[in-house]
Amino acid sequence: MEQSSSIWSRREITALLAGTLLPPMPAWAAQAIDQTKYVTLGGIGQWISIKGDDAANPVLLVVHGGPADVQWPNADKYVPWQKFFTVVQWDQRGAGHTFGHSGGDKTPDVNLDRIVKDGLELAEYLIRDRKKKKLILLGHSWGSVVGSLMTAQRPDLFAAYVGTGQVESWAYNVKSQFNTIRAHARAVNDTATIRELEAIGTPDPTNSHQYFTFSRNFRSLWAKPDQDWITHLRAQAAALKGNRDFADDQNGQLFSDPLLLPDQVKTDLSMVANHIGTDVFIIQGADDVITPVAGARDYFAKIKAPHKEFIAIPDAGHFAFMTSDAFLPALTDKVRPVAIARGA
């Protein structure tokens, strides 16, 4: 049945996203799935959702960024994906529904190593539950750190790794953002900022206070789609204020950020996740300055994998997977056929 699933053309996907094309009915009856549940991972109940139009489709596990930037508030963005993939959302340890359900600010072991192990337990669970041989893993930003380590440690579980907003290292990001801010300050003759940055000289990536100080206005230099996305999220937050789920989302971020910052600062994926024994696809916004596209390319060049591809999406930034209509066609054209062939 999996082999008979249609591979849609880029034109059809574009029309589908625009709402002008209804999907053709297959000869066999598709079995849709729509579940939310708590599964025990690392000794605590963690929230997942499993949604898709056809259970025969490849399973795609979304590893959210942040830390604790859960994706269920953006469920509408994933509806078109669900025609081609069974999409699994996971609120990581200390995040969102999992934060609210399993300890709140008493949640134990909120660290990178434990979250990677939780993710691998989840992958094993999904393979059993969905009766698949392998999964696709998509990691965004912080989730690209978790996801790269997951696939490097257990490539047997994954038909492909997809990174977006791909991190190489905190140190690379700090240096790149510092240089971007300095170049802009010089271009607009912002003497106060120039003096501040010249006093720093070379930023110390281990000094998080220094980083959060000099980068305080960095958002104004983000790609416009990223700025628009943050405006959308703020409006969404205002509409949800007072909602219990929203409170768990916000409190989970406040709780997780300081606990996971040390792991972010010290992790260099080019050193600890440069051998990935499955196919690797980096789908990066070409205008990403948060996790700079040059850093993603540098990490990509150092990865040893059976097959790897780097796809730059024009006119898109850090949140390309949420803001660009080109992202889903990249998934369906490049990743989906590989995943079907490998039993995802």
Instruction: Provide CATH code, domain 2-169+226-341.
Output: 3.40.50.1820
pLDDT at 329: 98
pLDDT at 19: 55
The count of other CB atoms within 10 Å of the CB of residue 200 is: 15
pLDDT at 11: 60
pLDDT at 2: 33
pLDDT at 24: 54
Separation of alpha carbons 180 and 178, rounded Å: 5
Q: Provide the CB-side half-sphere exposure for 88 (13 A, CA).
A: 29
pLDDT at 30: 83
List, run by run, the mean pLDDT of 10-residue segments along the chain (344 residues). Answer: 44 58 56 97 98 97 97 96 98 98 97 98 98 98 98 98 98 98 98 97 97 96 97 90 92 97 98 98 98 98 98 98 98 97 91
Global pTM reads 0.91
At residue 145, φ and ψ (nearest 5 deg) are -70, -50
CB neighbours of 140 closer than 8 A, spacing ≥ 6? 62, 63, 64, 65, 164, 165, 321
107 within 8 A of 99, measured Cβ to Cβ: yes
Separation of alpha carbons 24 and 44, rounded Å: 42
Domain boundaries for CATH 3.40.50.1820 within the chain: 2-169+226-341
122: left (phi over 0), alpha (psi -120 to 50) or beta: alpha
Task: Tokens 């939780």: give the residue.
Answer: 118
